[in-house]
Structure 1
Amino acid sequence: MIATSFMFCLLRLATGLVAPEQVHLSYGYLPSEMFVMWATDEEASSRVHVTLAPANMKSQWAVVEGECWNFSYGNPDGLQIIHRVNLTNLSPGQMYTYYAESNGKNSNLYNFTAMHVDRSWTPQFVFYGDMGTYGSDGPPIFSHLKKEVDNPETAAIFHVGDFAYDFDSDGGKNGDKFMNMIEVVAAKVPYMGTMGNHEIPHNYSHYLNRLTMPTPKSSRFWYSIDIGLIHFISYSTEIYFTNGPVSDQFTWLEQDLKKANSNREKQPWIIAFGHRPMYCSNYDSNDCSKVKSIIRTKLEPLFYEYGVDMVVQGHEHSYERLWPVYNETVTAKNYENPQAPVHIITGKAGCQEDYGLCTDPIFESGGPWSAYTSWVPWIHGYGVLKAENSTHLYWTQKFQILGFEYDEDAIVVVQHHHGNYSRV
């Protein structure tokens, strides 16, 4: 059923409580893989017990060994032992029951579904950026996220930067609080991320230690993954502001996009996501509000040339939907066979700033490319993305006031000519 990894955690007999906390999933390098991660307060064994769902007392449980490491840099007061197990040889579309175990202490039981590989599978994906822990029960959208992951159509959550506000706050204890908070959703569906500016401290150590993404050997700052009919690309916007490996990412992006375009028959849609937007209407001095946006200057021509269908971003604590746009020029005020990428900003999940108000106001349109905006402080939300088939892509932004859903913004992108936009 599942191949066992023979990477064992260095075991020191622990005397304290080592019960697994912060259990969460992420997709592996192959559709048949799934990473399981958690944290403990002392060194202990790293094991996942897994069986076919639904599990019962007569089920045959496989025990998969993993690895652990010490995470202390920038994390003096948080849990410092991070565990990771890679489940392999999973059957496509099969549901599994599992729990994490460290030195005989077990996590709760959870179910997950291994990735499907057939083209008839059309899952949905939850997107948001900029979410902290503010609120007695977590951010206002959190109760709705729990319902989304219980929907069998939901295949993953994508968090487009700025976690916890911040992972390293309170000596790392706030990072523990956030990871424990999201366990109820992230232990059921893969929690996929990209780094934002709030992950920069301590050389991104919290993002790189707390999360595992299917990154290439060249860097852990970017990755891509095929899920259903979509090729997802996670890119780093932060390297442009920290003297990071800009040319390396560009080279990787171009190679990845070339490969993705040769595979459009299988994954017709290309969705790129990074933290800082290329365009925005917010009244501030952020990069996206400038005429010569660094992110836009560096990446927009590449995304245009290789026909990226949609770019999802956060950073601005608002929601904004753009018309198809390239080089500040709107190609059409509709989404019928767009001749440029469609940009979405969904940074309204509920950050920690200003007592959770997270205000990045929009007083007027930043340009003719702005199609819809929402920025009022107490209105929060997240997006749901679904590729119904090779020609129809659905985006729905769900809004809440104090946790109660009240409205949504929805579009359908129809594209019959995937690929380089200049060819049209």
Structure 2
Amino acid sequence: MFGRALSVVFIGFAVIIPALSLQTINDNVRPSQHHTAFHGTSGMTISWSTHAKLDKPTVNYGLTPYTLWQQASSSESVTYPTSTTYLNHVILKDLLPYRTYYYSVSNSFANQTYQFKTARIEGDRSSHTVAMVADMGTFGSLGLSFNDKYPPALAPGEITTIQRLSTTLDQFDFLLHPGDFAYSDYWLKEELLGYLPFDLATGPQVYEQINEEFYTQLENITAFKPYMVSVGNHEANCDNGGTKGYTESICPVGQTNFTGYINRFRMPSDVSKGVGNFWYSYDYGMVHYLHYTTETDFPGAPDAFGGGQGDDAGPFAPTGAQLAWIEQDLRSVNREITPWVVALGHRPWYVASSLCYTCQAAFEPLFNEYNVDVVLSGHVHAMERNAPIAKNVTDENGLNNPKAPLYLTNGAAGHFEGLDTLNSPLPSYVTYANNTKFGYSLLTFHNITHMTHNFISSASGQVLDSATLYKERSFPY
């Protein structure tokens, strides 16, 4: 009647439950789309999705997969109109630094155990590598794929960025994603192009379907590696992929004012005195990471009311709060403990196309004043590496102890429309550009003076570009 039985292992004993009965009971609360995020050196936020609200989201965890004796819970099971899921968030506290923990969340099936590694303590000078993607959409039938209804961007059988990262988890410690997730806001554009069936009435469902598929694909990475994000314009984009003749009234709620982004993630702004998932910071070994938003909350912000994009998003804090926080955060960095400073925001201002001049006016003076080493961005769907540059003047030292920041733009992870055409000729400060290959970045901090950036082909795994930045440090090793 019920098919084969399933053994469900609890701590210390086992229970035999009919397989079909278990599936029926747990369908709406079955966990999916796990992702993790640092919550300071000694904490980790565990997030996952369910189709029904949980009264008490719970995580069991421990230092081996067989001793999940510690437990943490919360009341955070949140959703929004048009969403098909609830987003559940639990913070694990008082963890040991740089240790592997195993965990399982509410209503998991037997043996559905994942693992993560906590942050290195501040000042740990061991070499470490982080991966970075931006402007990455859903892959497959709902997004970027080989499809005869639309000019193909993927070669048949080509491995995607998510697949490549999933098979190389041992090559990086955590994943950075400065903006533009899933491209579910392109649902109408895909329908008008015949890529998906056209039906305005089902827009919200299609939007959420694309979104859910993206985070399901990403789970093979984010369940195991902390996923640290910054917001992009497609998290508040209501122009329906640039389509004309349709109004904002058909936009799903999650597509407006960063609603989906706000509910899905829990970044450590409470630890760093930032705001939500919009601006925050954390230390990892010898690096201080600062995430900021290029979309709202500064003069001329493009996605804010009157910013020209039509999204009228935010503000998320009083006027001037983000810039004041950035200055305070950068001023407080102890460069003898964390000598490297990396800033991440979505829109670039040193790039071959789509320059954000208001972003430059707002953020560059602070980055120059406080000697930020590397600025990471996306938005342009290509890879561009620049010579270190400040106030539109290239640093004469190049990569050999420059005073100016190194700007790296990599929005080449892959989305529905493929890669961008770059303006020609390229600006003189661009030292490498690639808009023909999908790929991602690996940044390796070898020690307190040397950092290497590699641009990796998603299809082949080959290093397409490599450059090492040297920064002289006046304090002892």
Secondary structure, counterpart of 2:433 in structure 1: strand
Partner of 2:407: 343
Is 1:147 aligned with 2:215? no
Kept in 1: contact 2:125–2:448 (CA 8 A): no
* Number of the residue aligned with 1:306: 370
User: Radius of gyration: which is bigger?
Assistant: 2
Runs of 4+ in 1 over 4 A off after TM superposition: 104-107, 136-139
Which residue identity does 2:84 align to in structure 1? G
What is the aligned partner in structure 2 of residue 181 from structure 1?
Answer: 217
What's the CA shift string for 1:306-355, capped at 9, x where partnerless?
100010100000000000111111112620110211100010000122xx
Q: Is 1:46 equivalent to 2:46 in the alignment?
A: no
Q: Indicate whether 1:382 and 2:418 are aligned.
A: no
* Correspondence for 1:7: none
How far apart, in 2, do the equivalents of 1:35 and 1:387 lie?
Answer: 25
Letter of the 2:424 partner, please give it. F
State the match for 2:113 in structure 1.
Answer: 109
Partner-residue secondary structure (3-state), 2:327: helix
Letter in 2 for 1:37: S
Contact conserved, 2:345 with 2:376, CA < 8 A, in 1? Answer: yes
* CA distance 1:307–1:186, shift in 2 (3 Å): same
Other-structure match for 2:136: 131
State how far apart, in whole Å, the 1-side matches of 2:91 and 2:111 are. 17
Length, aligned pairs only: 379
Instruction: Name which of structure 1's ranges 39-48 and 82-91 shifts more when overlaid on structure 2.
Output: 39-48
Q: Specify the SS of the correspondent of 1:238.
A: coil
State the 1:218 CA deviation. 5.0
User: Where does residue 8 of structure 1 map in the other structure?
Assistant: none
**Structure 2 residue 72 is the aligned partner of structure 1 residue 68:** no
Contact 1:234-1:272 at 8 Å conserved across structures: yes
Shift of residue 267 of structure 1?
0.2
- Residues 291-370 of structure 1: pairs in structure 2 closer than 5 A: 293-332=357-396, 334-353=398-417, 357-366=418-427, 368-370=428-430
Distance 1:32 1:348 in 2: 33
Give yes or no for contact 1:77–1:173 (8 Å, CA) kept in 2: no
* Aligned residue identity for 2:140: G
Contact 2:346 2:378 in 1 (8 A): yes
Distance change (3 Å), C-alpha of 1:183 and 1:417: same
Q: Structure 1, unaligned stretches of length 5 or more?
A: 1-13, 420-424
What letter corresponds to residue 386 of structure 1 in structure 2?
T
* Matched-pair contact (CA < 8 Å) for 1:237–1:275: yes
Q: Identify which of 194, 213, 216 aligns with 2:230.
A: 194
Paired residue secondary structure (1:411): strand
**Alignment of structure 1 residues 161-176 onto 2, 5 Å:** 161-166=179-184, 170-176=206-212
Matched, 1:413 2:465: no
Question: What's 1:159 paired with?
Answer: 177
Aligned-pair CA distance for 1:120: 3.5
* Letter of the structure 2 residue corresponding to residue 343 of structure 1: Y
**Which stretches in structure 2 are left out of the alignment for 5+ residues?**
1-24, 146-158, 188-205, 237-254, 306-314
Q: Distance in 1 between matches of 2:180 and 2:68?
A: 40
Residues 382 and 16 of structure 1, relative CA distance in 2, 3 Å threshold? closer
In structure 1, distance between residues paired with 2:68 and 2:264: 30
Cα distance, 1:115–1:390 mapped onto 2, change above 3 Å? same
Distance in 2 of aligned mates of 1:409 and 1:135:
27
TM-score by length of 2: 0.75
How far off is 1:85 after superposition? 1.0
What's the offset of the Cα at 1:17? 2.9
The one-letter amino acid of 2:407's match is H
Residue matched to 1:251: 324
Q: Which has the higher strand share?
A: 1
In the TM superposition, what is the alpha-carbon distance from 1:287 to its structure 2 partner? 3.2
Indicate the percent of aligned positions where both proteins have the same amino acid: 29
1: distance between equivalents of 2:109 and 2:256?
31
Quote the Cα distance in structure 2 between the aligned partners of 1:158 and 1:189: 10
Q: Is the 8 A contact 1:50 1:63 kept in 2?
A: yes
* 2:414 maps to amino acid: G
Q: In the alignment, does 2:230 pair up with 1:226?
A: no
- The one-letter code sitting in structure 2 at the alignment partner of 1:342 is L
Q: TM-score, normalised by structure 1?
A: 0.84
Secondary structure, aligned partner of 1:405: coil
Residues in 1 aligned to 2:390 and 2:125: alpha-carbon distance in whole angstroms:
32
Asked if the contact 2:68–2:102 (Cα under 8 Å) also holds between the matched residues in 1, the reply is no
Structure 1 range deviating more: 183-192 or 293-302: 293-302
Q: Is the 8 A contact 1:269 1:418 kept in 2?
A: no
Match of 1:19 in 2: 30
1 CA distance for matches of 2:28 and 2:109? Answer: 8
Quick one: distance in 2 between partners of 1:192 and 1:365? 31
Of 78, 82, 96, the residue aligned with 2:84 is 78
Flag the 1:300–1:309 CA change in 2: closer, same or farther, 3 A: same
